[in-house]
Structure 1
Amino acid sequence: MNANATLLSNEKILELFNLEHHQVQKIDIKGQSDALNVYITLQVEEQTCPICESKTSTIKDYSEKKLLHSLVTHIPCYIRYRARRYKCTTCNKCFFEHNPFAYRNMKITQLTVYNVLNDLKSPHETFTTVANRYRLSPTTVSSIFDSHVSVSRQKLPAYLLIDECYAYHSDRSDYVCVLIDAMTKNIVDILPSRKKQDLVAYFSQIPLEERKGVLGIGIDMWYSYRVVAKQFLPNAFISVDRFHVYSDLMKRIDSIRVDTMKKLKPPKNWKQTEDKVKRQEYYKRDQQYYLLKKFNWLLYKNPKATTTVKDKKYNIFDPNVPKQRNKKLGKFLNLYDIIDLILQTSNGLEDAYNMKFLLDQFFNESKAENAHENLNTLIRVMAQSRVASIVDFSRTLGKWKNEIVATFNKVEKCTKVTNKKTGETHYEVSITHINSALIENRNRIIKQIKNNASGYRNWERFRNRVLYVLNEDATYRINPIIKTTYDKGLS
């Protein structure tokens, strides 16, 4: 390929190699069945000595460098660059000319580095999948990421969410502690432990003025979070999201269900029992066991949920829903009938299930003005339950009373809205409550990052990857981070 003709008529080609017209002396592209080779020689330019900073144009010799380039991915692409070595006439130092293709001491081009970093922005990618795409080793991709990505902690927001996620195993903990801005959805930081002493050490390093700016905090029912929040966030109200309250009650209901199943499960060979009375009893127990095992999900279903039967929508527990024959039970039933049969298997299960409706009523009908009084009433009713675990749950509600009431606190949310037609942006203010739905979504993605890679061993790399993926404004550094010997020792 003629160099001048290529430079004049195909300047777009030069852009693919991070070059401009005046930089290139010669370029030749040779396509082969197994690779694409691009031979490049740069123009002779005056160079600056890296030692004494003198100017020199004295060329000592040439050396061909082979750089992997990600211009295409279906076949390997290499830049074969004829690099000049210059000699300083002042200090006699020999050095290579500056090249626009690659960073110092690297055998891959800058474009390849940028493509690797852009691909790692997706939670679906791993270091191995990206390495295979660009014909690199996973170690090289990890090194590129470590050299270009270092995400700092964000400033504590006005409304903070704290939760743990089972995503990183270490000697100190199996959980990471996730801090999220409730309004912007950005992750403020993640910590390798949720233990009290580790949280104290972390927040004690943050200036008091910054901590005073936190006005509200949403947590789950982990006592260490409450203790640390009261100690280090003096101006924040503490809120326990209703999801975690429901979760605690659901675990207790499920425990009652499992205990009931163990009592009802008939012997393996019950059908061979000669005693007709006992066989009839075992038959009934077998049906009840089947209901508790097959339809246990109905115990946790929202009563406002809907179901579609013959293209018509019904409330899930509407008694008028058309019935279908259940082969095991030998009856025509709908979900209303099935939940009724399930509750008949145990008085304790029925009592606990009814308490779930009282909890629904509390959250749906209470407001900030009467939530405290309504919660006290709910606690008194649950404390009189015949089921020990429900009585214990009433004590839990009493211990977290103030934090549950705080879930009804209203906060202002400022949202940035962009007009798709004009491109203009403005901010809209709305009233909302602090809830954990956002942090549960982020936890899911954090687990996905961990599971896709079959786990991480390097904490800093895992932390940077999570922040890099989940924060839209997190980006990579154009120039690699140069670590000193001291920094390497610390890492």
Structure 2
Amino acid sequence: MSIAKNIKCTDENTSKSIKQILNIKDSHITFSKDAISKEIVHGRMANVFTGLLTGEANRCEYCGFDSIIRHAYQDSWIQLIPYQEVPTYLHLYKQRFRCTQCHHTFSAKTYYVAENCYISQALKFAIAVDLKKKISMQDIAKRYFVSTKTVERVLDSFFEEPRKKLTYLPKHLLIDEFKGTSDCEGAMCFIVSDADTGKIFDILDDRRNFKLRAYFQRFTLKARKQVTHIVMDMNASYDAMTKEVFPNARISIDRFHIIQQMTRAFNKQRIQAMNQLKKSDPQAQKDYRKLKKYWRTILKKNAKLNYTSFKQFPLFQRRYLTESEVLDYLLSIDDQLRQSYEVYQELLAAFDAKDFTEFFDLIESLPHSLNDGFKKAIRYLRKHKEAITNSLKYPYSNGKLEGKNNLIKVIKRIAFGFRTFRHLRMRILIQQNICEII
């Protein structure tokens, strides 16, 4: 195509200034005095830098002969990083070459933009950097005036998934699951991390046993034998798989889930005691409201109760009472609730002292008059006796992994969900610096 004469008139000072602003180091790109303008591009006012790309071609790219002549110029609109929230473009006129032997034509090339691409490498890199932050791909697309598909292409091209060495596994593993995307094969995704460093080891799109077994059996038997400790929740299916795949590993139940099991059992009994109160009795209605409002007090450990400080409690006629006095009244409402509370506190004390012998002795000697639902939930812990004993004997817990799960929830919430597991997985690994920009 024809090109205006003033564009060919290179101004060294202007060219040097613009190249410093745009961080262009290609000596074949030049600018004239009138290189900067404001124009409407794609329906929006934009900053436009008009430049010229020249160069030399010794041989034809297609046939290899040296019968090359200069042909014409071809213009292209290259999108740059926005300046002051305004879209910015490089209107670049590229020198065309023609082969007299095979009659093919081709353009001069520059590192500043990939071949057959209209987005500068600098803009792609800026998008890649933003992908490491807690921000949705839609917001990144809006920030740089590109499409969401462009952001996805940058995600796929700038980051490479880490390759696992099949001869290595962390010595201590933390495993858990989280809700995945609609294209996952299983209902939940599986995450595994190193217990010593807290670093995510891998994320799978399925937590079913046969999938996990197939995944871990890819690793050498020597690597699997080096795994000595695994921490999980009370999912029995994991227990069967891990014993088969990791022959030397001790299984521990995460301590949080053990406490949660006991707390939920006692809290259910509190709700049951509330529901048994007669709604027609005014005093029973008051007790109902007290059990409902002060649920935190009744679930709190004895060691954390306040026995000395007085404060007003609205449902106790705004009298000044200690927290322990409020607790005594709540437990006096129901005898079975008081009995369960005593067992609940004894179990918590033994657990905090890491005395697994006393802990299981208490479970084995539960009173016959104890609430049936509470008793059943507590006795369920006997099923995991070995794993609970290991959790009290060894210092490993799923705390680090639960933090990663919270991060995953934040990433999903900010992005309003992900369509594909691959993109969700990549965003998690990128945010954790496991995938680096290539």
Same fold by TM-score, threshold 0.5 exceeded?
yes
Q: 1:41 aligns with which of 52, 75, 86?
A: 52
Q: 2:360 aligns with which of 362, 376, 388?
A: 376
Aligned to 1:230: 243
| Structure 2 CA distance for partners of 1:283 and 1:173, relative to 1, 3 Å | farther
Aligned to 1:24: 29
Q: 1:437 aligns with which of 385, 399, 411?
A: 399
Aligned to 1:6: 14
Report SS of the residue matched to 2:74.
strand
Q: CA deviation at 1:22?
A: 2.7
> What are the residue-to-residue correspondences of 1:214-225 with 2, within 5 Å?
214-225=227-238
Aligned to 1:133: 143
Aligned to 2:285: 286
Aligned to 2:208: 195
In structure 2, the gaps of 5 or more residues are 1-8, 40-44
- Preserved contact between residue 383 and residue 390 of structure 1 (Cα < 8 Å): no
2:331 aligned with 1:318: no
Letter in 1 for 2:28: Q
In the alignment, the residues of structure 2 paired with residue 53 and residue 341 of structure 1 have an alpha-carbon distance, to the nearest angstrom, of 95
> What are the residue-to-residue correspondences of 1:107-256 with 2, within 5 Å?
107-123=118-134, 125-152=135-162, 154=164, 156-170=169-183, 172-256=185-269
Report SS of the residue matched to 1:104.
coil
2:425 aligned with 1:463: yes
Deviates more, 1:170-179 or 1:130-139: 170-179
Report SS of the residue matched to 2:309.
coil
Provide Cα deviations, 1:384-408, integer angstroms capped at 9, x if missing partner.
Answer: 5612233323432221111111124
Q: CA RMSD in A?
A: 2.6
Q: 1:364 aligns with which of 334, 342, 352?
A: 352
Q: CA deviation at 1:139?
A: 2.5
Provide Cα deviations, 1:119-175, integer angstroms capped at 9, x if missing partner.
Answer: 11112x001111111111222222322333342355531111001123434574332
Identity value in percent: 26
Letter in 2 for 1:387: N
| Structure 2 CA distance for partners of 1:218 and 1:52, relative to 1, 3 Å | farther
Provide Cα deviations, 1:86-142, integer angstroms capped at 9, x if missing partner.
Answer: 23455443222222222233221111111111111112x001111111111222222
Provide Cα deviations, 1:1-33, integer angstroms capped at 9, x if missing partner.
Answer: 97311355x4xx525534226333335542438
TM-score (norm 1): 0.78
Report SS of the residue matched to 1:59.
strand
Letter in 2 for 1:296: W
| Structure 2 CA distance for partners of 1:56 and 1:128, relative to 1, 3 Å | farther
- Preserved contact between residue 229 and residue 251 of structure 2 (Cα < 8 Å): yes
| Structure 2 CA distance for partners of 1:3 and 1:408, relative to 1, 3 Å | farther
Aligned to 1:423: none
Report SS of the residue matched to 1:214.
coil
In the alignment, the residues of structure 2 paired with residue 169 and residue 344 of structure 1 have an alpha-carbon distance, to the nearest angstrom, of 50
Letter in 2 for 1:443: N
In the alignment, the residues of structure 2 paired with residue 390 and residue 20 of structure 1 have an alpha-carbon distance, to the nearest angstrom, of 73
- Preserved contact between residue 176 and residue 232 of structure 2 (Cα < 8 Å): yes
In the alignment, the residues of structure 2 paired with residue 48 and residue 383 of structure 1 have an alpha-carbon distance, to the nearest angstrom, of 93
Report SS of the residue matched to 1:35.
strand
In the alignment, the residues of structure 2 paired with residue 168 and residue 352 of structure 1 have an alpha-carbon distance, to the nearest angstrom, of 41
Q: CA deviation at 1:244?
A: 0.8
Aligned to 2:6: none
Letter in 2 for 1:203: F
2:414 aligned with 1:452: yes
Q: CA deviation at 1:64?
A: 0.9
Report SS of the residue matched to 2:161.
coil
Q: CA deviation at 1:187?
A: 1.2
| Structure 2 CA distance for partners of 1:385 and 1:38, relative to 1, 3 Å | farther
Report SS of the residue matched to 1:22.
coil
Provide Cα deviations, 1:153-207, integer angstroms capped at 9, x if missing partner.
Answer: 5553111100112343457433221111122222111122222222222222333
2:304 aligned with 1:299: no
Aligned to 2:391: 407
In the alignment, the residues of structure 2 paired with residue 53 and residue 285 of structure 1 have an alpha-carbon distance, to the nearest angstrom, of 96
| Structure 2 CA distance for partners of 1:85 and 1:2, relative to 1, 3 Å | closer
Aligned to 2:326: 338
* Equivalent residues, number: 421
- Preserved contact between residue 22 and residue 43 of structure 1 (Cα < 8 Å): no
Q: CA deviation at 1:228?
A: 1.2
In structure 1, the gaps of 5 or more residues are 271-281, 306-316, 411-432, 478-491
Provide Cα deviations, 1:290-345, integer angstroms capped at 9, x if missing partner.
Answer: 1122121223334444xxxxxxxxxxx22211231525645333322222222223
| Structure 2 CA distance for partners of 1:16 and 1:344, relative to 1, 3 Å | farther
In the alignment, the residues of structure 2 paired with residue 89 and residue 383 of structure 1 have an alpha-carbon distance, to the nearest angstrom, of 100
Q: CA deviation at 1:360?
A: 2.4
- Preserved contact between residue 375 and residue 401 of structure 1 (Cα < 8 Å): no
In the alignment, the residues of structure 1 paired with residue 54 and residue 307 of structure 2 have an alpha-carbon distance, to the nearest angstrom, of 85
| Structure 2 CA distance for partners of 1:289 and 1:72, relative to 1, 3 Å | same
Deviates more, 1:142-151 or 1:457-466: 142-151
Aligned to 1:83: 94
TM-score (norm 2): 0.87
Letter in 2 for 1:184: T
Letter in 1 for 2:398: S
| Structure 2 CA distance for partners of 1:373 and 1:327, relative to 1, 3 Å | closer
Aligned to 1:352: 340
| Structure 2 CA distance for partners of 1:325 and 1:409, relative to 1, 3 Å | closer
2:423 aligned with 1:475: no
Aligned to 2:381: 397
Q: CA deviation at 1:48?
A: 5.8
